[in-house]
Structure 1
Amino acid sequence: MTTTSTTEQITTALRALSCTDVSDALDRLGIAGHCLGIMPLDRSFRLVGRAWTLRYGPVGRDPGTVGDYIDDLGPGDVVVLDNQGRLDATVWGDLLTYTAVRNGVAGTVIDGVCRDVDRSITTAYPVFSRGNWMRTGKDRVRVEGIGEPVSIGGARVEPGDWLLGDGDGVLCVPAGRIDEVIAAAEEIRDAEERIREAVHGGRPLRAAREEVGYHRLQTKR
Structure 2
Amino acid sequence: MATLNEQLATLVENYSACDVSDALIKLQKTPEGSTARAGYLADLVPFSPITGRNTQTPKIAAPATTFKFISKSSKPPSIATENPQKHGFEPGKHWVDHVGEFAAADPSGAGSIVVIEQPDDQFCAVTGGIMATRMVAVGIRGTVVGGRIRDLGELRETGLPIWARATSTVGTNAEAKAGARDVPVSIGGVTVSPGDIIFCDPLEGVVAIPRELLGQVLEIMPKLIAMDEKAKEAVAQGMSVTDAFKKFRSAL
**The two structures share one fold, judged by TM-score above 0.5:** yes
Aligned partner of 1:204 in structure 2 is 237
Are 2:46 and 1:40 equivalent residues in the alignment?
A: yes
Aligned partner of 2:143 in structure 1 is 108
Shift of 1:108: 0.6
> Which whole-Å CA distance do the structure 1 matches of 2:213 and 2:74 have between them?
42
> Which whole-Å CA distance do the structure 2 matches of 1:47 and 1:177 have between them?
18
> Which whole-Å CA distance do the structure 2 matches of 1:151 and 1:123 have between them?
26
Among residues 1, 7, 14, which one is paired with 1:10 in the alignment?
7
C-alpha distance 115-86 of structure 1, shift in aligned 2 (>3 A): farther
- 1:66 touches 1:91 (CA, 8 Å); kept in 2? no
Shift of 1:105: 1.5
C-alpha distance 204-138 of structure 1, shift in aligned 2 (>3 A): same
- 1:56 touches 1:145 (CA, 8 Å); kept in 2? yes
Bigger relative contact order, structure 1 or 2 (CA pairs below 8 A, ≥6 apart): 1
> Which whole-Å CA distance do the structure 1 matches of 2:158 and 2:226 have between them?
33
- 1:56 touches 1:143 (CA, 8 Å); kept in 2? yes
Aligned partner of 2:210 in structure 1 is 174
Aligned partner of 1:132 in structure 2 is 167
Deviations 1:113-166 (A, max 9, x none): 111223333444211111111111124211211110010111000000001121
Aligned partner of 2:66 in structure 1 is 53
Deviations 1:154-193 (A, max 9, x none): 1000000001121222111111111101212232234445
- 1:39 touches 1:168 (CA, 8 Å); kept in 2? no
> Which whole-Å CA distance do the structure 2 matches of 1:51 and 1:61 have between them?
25
Q: Which runs of 5+ in 2 are unaligned?
A: 30-36, 77-90, 104-109
Among residues 16, 22, 26, which one is paired with 1:28 in the alignment?
26
C-alpha distance 207-51 of structure 1, shift in aligned 2 (>3 A): same
Are 2:123 and 1:95 equivalent residues in the alignment?
A: no
Among residues 147, 158, 180, which one is paired with 1:145 in the alignment?
180
Which residue identity does 1:137 align to in structure 2? T
Which residue identity does 1:176 align to in structure 2? E
> Which whole-Å CA distance do the structure 2 matches of 1:51 and 1:71 have between them?
10
Same amino acid, percent of matched pairs: 23
C-alpha distance 61-157 of structure 1, shift in aligned 2 (>3 A): closer
C-alpha distance 26-135 of structure 1, shift in aligned 2 (>3 A): same
TM-score in terms of structure 1 length: 0.80
- 1:86 touches 1:111 (CA, 8 Å); kept in 2? no
C-alpha distance 62-82 of structure 1, shift in aligned 2 (>3 A): closer
Aligned positions, number = 212
Q: Which moved more, 1:8-17 or 1:207-216?
A: 207-216
Kindly indicate which of the two structures has a greater share of residues assigned to strand.
Answer: 1
Shift of 1:30: 2.5
> Which whole-Å CA distance do the structure 2 matches of 1:118 and 1:189 have between them?
39
Aligned partner of 1:76 in structure 2 is 111
Deviations 1:20-55 (A, max 9, x none): 100111111136422122222232343311100010
* Secondary structure of 1:68's aligned partner: helix
